[in-house]
Homo-oligomer: A and B are copies of this chain.
Amino acid sequence: MIHVSSTPPAPVCILGLGLIGGSLLRVLADAGRPAYGYNRSAATVDAATAAGYDASTDLQATLERAAADDAVIVLATPVPALNAMLPAIAAHAPDCLVTDVVSVKETVTRLVEQHHPRARYVGGHPMAGTAHSGWEATDPALFDGAMWMVATHDDTDPADWLTVAGIARAAGAYVVPAADDAHDRAVAAISHNPHSTAAVTASVGAGESDLALRLAAGSFRDGTRVAGTAPDLQRAMLEGNAVALLNTLSETIDRLTAARDALRDTGSVEVVVGDGHRAREKYEAIANAAPQPIEGVVVGDAGWAGELRRQAHQGRVWIG
C-alpha cells in the first residue's frame, strides 16, 4: 500500500501549448492547481498569458522552475521536438517526474531512454482531439469523460503512476492502464487506421467528379472528416506508429479484398456488412455505457500493474 500524502498536489509544467497541452494547462489552472507552460512560439505564449495563464518562451527558465518546485513535467510537443526537449530536461530538471501526451508510447519511451535515461518516466496518452490544432483550439473541457491511457508496466513506480493518473483524473478523464505495445496496437486499430481509410475514401470520392462531391451526404461527410486534419499532424501520428499501422492496414486490405471478391463472385456483401455492423454495435455498447471501474486493486500491491492491465482489456477504467 502506497502512502498517500496529504500535501498539495505537485505543480504541473507543460511543455508545448497546442491543442492538448494548452487545454491541459487551462483545465488544471482553472481548477486551482499550480500549472505553467512553455511554448517556443511567442504568439502562443502571448495568447496564453493574455488569457490569464502562466506561460513562457524560455525553456531553460521553465525547466529550472520545474526543478525548484518539483513539478511533474508533461511533454506535449510533436514527437520530433522531443529530441531537443528531453536533453534539456536531463540537463535542467533531471529529477522531475516526466509524463507525456504524445500519442505513440513505444516511440516516446525509446526517445526518453535515449536522451534522458535516468528519467522517472510514466507515459500517457489522452484520447482527445479535433481536426483543429494550436492554442486557439484549446478547450478546458477537451478531456471531460475522455479516455487517458497511462503506461502501466510491471516495473512502473506506483507512486509516480498515481501522480500521473491523478493529472488525468484532474483533467476530467478516465484512466486506461495499458502497456506501451498494447496501447500502440490499439490506437493503430481505432485511430491511425481510421485516418488512413478516411483519406483513401475521400480520394476515391473526389476522384470521381464534382458531380459525386455535389451528391455527397452524411456517409461521406462523417466517414472522411478526419482526412481534414492538418497533414503534418496526421503524418506524425501515422508514421510514428508505423509497425502497428502496417498490420492494421494489411488487415484492412485483406478484408476489403475479400469483400470485393465476394461481391464479384457471389453478388453478396453479407459478410463485410454483417461483420462491420456487429463491430459497430460492440463499440456503441462500450462507448455509450457508463465506464465500468477497475475494482479490487491497490496500486503498489503485488501484481497491481498486471491486474490493472487485465481489467483494462475488459474495457474497464481506473477512477481512483
Contact = CB atoms under 8 A, between A and B. Distances in A.
Interface in A176-205: 176, 178, 182-183, 185-191, 193-205
A208 B186 contact: yes
B253 A249 contact: no
A235 interface: yes
Interface of A is mostly: helix
B283 A263 contact: no
Given A191-B219, A220-B194, A246 B264 contact: yes
Give the oligomeric copy count: 2
A211 interface: yes
Interface string A224-268: 111111110011001100100110111111011101100110011
Contact of A283 (B188, B220, B234): B220
Contacts of A204: 189, 193, 248, 251-252, 255
A127 B256 contact: no
Choose among A205, A211, A226, A250 the residue with the greatest number of B CB atoms under 10 Å from its CB: A211
B222 A317 contact: no
Interface of A: 127-130, 146-147, 149, 176, 178, 182-183, 185-191, 193-231, 234-235, 238-239, 242, 245-246, 248-253, 255-257, 259-260, 263-264, 267-270, 272-284, 286-287, 291, 312-317
